[in-house]
Structure 1
Amino acid sequence: MTTPTELRVLQFCHGYDGPFLDCARQYASLFVGTPYKVTTVYLTGAPSVEVERGSASDEVVFLDYRSRDVRGLKLKAIRDIKRLVDGRNFQFCIAHRFKPIYVALLGTDLPVIGVHHGFGDYQRLSRKLFANCFRKRLALLGVSNAVRNEIRACLPSWPAERIETLYNRIDIAAVQAEQVCRDDARAHLGLPQDAWVVGNVGRLHPDKDQATLIRGFAQALPQLPAGSLLAIMGSGRLESSLKTLAAELGVSTSVRFLGQVPQGRRYFKAFDVFALTSDHEPFGMVLLEAMAAGVPVICSDCGGGREVVGELGGLFPLADADALAIVIQRFFAHDNEQRRLYKELVSQRLEVCFSDRAVREVYWQLDMHVVVRE
């Protein structure tokens, strides 16, 4: 239970599917060691003890809507959030994605920090008008500079300090504690212990562009050791066409489609290198998880991925299979000393840029908190 004198933050999430449960944890962790208590509200999704624990919040509320119930004006959800806030000492709201931002602004008079996890949220004229209508009590965060810059371009009259970046992050120690050793990971995934393996994790979807990955791997394969593999973890509508592509390129026996793997990040140490070929990934949490496993990372030079890997990763132009093949070959050529140094440097980068502690410090320095305190 809460008391009227407690300072509280309302965290409002669309749901807890996919990566969004950890997003709730990430933002709750911003208030560790502060006077604030965090109430996390999920618009969609049934009550779950596991989700309640994973939210790392002082209080968790499930509104238990289905996605189809929050289309259109969402009047019932607006009334529900208004009832929840009335009479409680919430100082401001952190809302993830557009629907919760919309509901929070219409259902409360709280200042709202809207967190955007993808591109395109303010491309529509109606959303631009809505944001401008509430700009006096709305500030926005993008999960990467790439997302932030797109929002700034869509809302050009806004002061830059009202649209900022706050990177996604991981609990480094917790992620590493989950990850199993290389031999056990390969045994679980059915991969040979002695193969050199390029790994990929993601939906089999055009946005993830595994077609370029297969083409690049096929070009690199003659320069890799015998028995080298490309292991793709994930499922989706392109599975059949991607298998056909591998067959056409003559690499079917060297490409393993692993399907959907529960708790897939536990097995990243199975890979010798991790490759993300996405088309303008907003951030790329899988890159952080691969880095936490000490696995060298390759990613397309677009979106937020380049911000995650910095100078440590292998960047290649989007959809350029020739360039990708060269990067894969370069990583294979690394000797033991280069691999040791990589692990040391990537560990430092995670701690300095993408740890809960590091991002908490950035958050409390943002000028947008002037808005929240008005």
Structure 2
Amino acid sequence: MSRPEGVSTDRPWVLQFCHGYDGPFLDCARQYAALFAGTEYRVCTVYLTGAPSAEVEAGSASNEVIFLDYSSREVRGLKLRAIRDFKRIAASRDFKLCIAHRFKPIYIALLGSELPVIGVHHAFGDYRRRSRQLFANFFKKRLALLGVSNAVRDDMRACLPTWPAGRIETLYNRIDVEAVQAEQVSREAARDHLGLPADAWVIGNVGRLHPDKDQATLIRGFALALPELPAGSLLAIMGSGRLEGELKALTSDLGVADSVRFLGQVANGRRYFKAFDLFALTSDHEPFGMVLLEAMAAGVPVICSDCGGGREVVAGVGRLFPLGNAEALCTQLKPLSRSESSPLSTEAALARLHDTFTDGAVVSRFWDIFRRL
């Protein structure tokens, strides 16, 4: 456990407890710490798993960062040692509240302290197990739940039907638009880095090569549309995973292997979103879709499967198609590729980004939840 020395304890603190900092979860920690900027509260962010990292510490936007450095194996089962560590941290200063991301940190925080807990859920199904329903109901008086989309919120409400609606609410994921845009390189530099032709019309997709992301429908829809897309059009898929071989075989079977680029895992991938002319997310019940926000920040039009949290992100500013329907996706792609057709409004998307998916957009809603606890 790593902790800076000499940290002041004369102001009230908020304890943020995260499972880890992989993937989008470092930015999730930043998002919640940022809500306390300029207030009387200090934020201590604790990572259950993950080795100490100066980069993570800087990215957490917190007054203090603690790395418990557990492995995933060590936090299976009862997690008694982690509960003891959490109890020591919770007793170390004047904490008023714990914000815990995902179920394991919520479990540890409730058993390891008497603090009120805001549990933030980033996925579907966290309370479908009977044991978790019983646990949540036992701690109902000091637990409030947030879903990262209305879809996640509604899934939790269905699993916990006796809870008042006001104890299970939505607080959207968000980005620092200016910081993300400052990272993003030009179209030319992005295409050079990704090895994409300068003059091709390119559809981009970012995500694990996993059934949940349903790149198979994307490939099928692209293959159907390709004869009517501009000459040399490409589909560029950024990510890695267990379906890579299967998806590459699908491109061969459909005769589009030369028009689909598998880019693999790209470090800081959102820096290169301007390489795309259109961003497509075909996920099966995506809880939210942070990549949609990053594409919108890059000024790239977006199209998304009409399910989960993704539809909430692109509502009114992007296109939707029925989940798993390659023919419908094809129908959407063809006009979007033609310059004479009305393009999706990137200006409207950017306005929606600022109005709904930034820290400033949700701060009053969060503080209302905070005060009720």
Measured in 2, the distance between the counterparts of 1:139 and 1:201 equals 32
Percentage of matched positions with identical amino acids: 71
The corresponding residue for 2:364 is: 361
The secondary structure found in structure 2 opposite 1:250 is coil
Of 106, 110, 132, the residue aligned with 1:105 is: 110
- The C-alpha deviation readout for 1:45-66, integer Å capped at 9, x for no partner, is 1111110000000000011111
- The C-alpha deviation readout for 1:236-268, integer Å capped at 9, x for no partner, is 111111111111111111111111111110110
Measured in 1, the distance between the counterparts of 2:338 and 2:92 equals 63
Of 158, 167, 175, the residue aligned with 2:163 is: 158
8 A Cα contact 2:318 2:349, kept in partner: no
Superposition deviation, residue 33 in structure 1? 1.5
TM-score after normalising by structure 2: 0.97
Of 292, 305, 314, the residue aligned with 2:297 is: 292
Answering whether residue 62 of structure 2 is matched by residue 57 of structure 1, we say: yes
8 A Cα contact 2:230 2:337, kept in partner: no
Tell me which amino acid in the other structure corresponds to 2:197.
Answer: P
Measured in 1, the distance between the counterparts of 2:9 and 2:246 equals 58
Tell me which amino acid in the other structure corresponds to 1:344.
Answer: E
Of 219, 231, 237, the residue aligned with 1:214 is: 219
Query: What is the number of residues matched between the two proteins?
Result: 368
The corresponding residue for 2:205 is: 200
Answering whether residue 233 of structure 2 is matched by residue 228 of structure 1, we say: yes
Measured in 1, the distance between the counterparts of 2:132 and 2:358 equals 32
Answering whether residue 257 of structure 2 is matched by residue 252 of structure 1, we say: yes
Query: Comparing 3-12 with 109-118, which one deviates more in the overlay?
Result: 3-12
Measured in 2, the distance between the counterparts of 1:170 and 1:327 equals 28
The corresponding residue for 1:307 is: 312
Answering whether residue 103 of structure 2 is matched by residue 94 of structure 1, we say: no
Tell me which amino acid in the other structure corresponds to 1:292.
Answer: A
Answering whether residue 333 of structure 2 is matched by residue 349 of structure 1, we say: no
Superposition deviation, residue 5 in structure 1? 3.3
Superposition deviation, residue 271 in structure 1? 0.5
Give the unaligned 5+ runs of structure 1: none
Tell me which amino acid in the other structure corresponds to 2:360.
Answer: R
- The C-alpha deviation readout for 1:18-49, integer Å capped at 9, x for no partner, is 11000000000011111110000000111111
Measured in 1, the distance between the counterparts of 2:81 and 2:35 equals 30
- The within-5 A match list for 1:118-133 is 118-133=123-138
Give the unaligned 5+ runs of structure 2: 1-5
Answering whether residue 269 of structure 2 is matched by residue 264 of structure 1, we say: yes
Superposition deviation, residue 329 in structure 1? 1.1
Moved over 4 A (4+): none
Answering whether residue 336 of structure 2 is matched by residue 331 of structure 1, we say: yes
Computed over aligned residues only, the root mean square deviation of the Cα atoms, in angstroms, reads: 1.2
- The C-alpha deviation readout for 1:141-187, integer Å capped at 9, x for no partner, is 00000000000000000000000000000000010011111111111
Superposition deviation, residue 4 in structure 1? 4.3
Measured in 1, the distance between the counterparts of 2:83 and 2:220 equals 49
The secondary structure found in structure 2 opposite 1:237 is coil
Superposition deviation, residue 3 in structure 1? 4.2
Query: Comparing 46-55 with 82-91, which one deviates more in the overlay?
Result: 82-91
Measured in 1, the distance between the counterparts of 2:296 and 2:107 equals 35
Tell me which amino acid in the other structure corresponds to 2:194.
Answer: L
The corresponding residue for 1:42 is: 47
The secondary structure found in structure 2 opposite 1:167 is coil
Answering whether residue 69 of structure 2 is matched by residue 67 of structure 1, we say: no
- The C-alpha deviation readout for 1:311-366, integer Å capped at 9, x for no partner, is 11110000000000011112113549x44x71211111110000111122221233
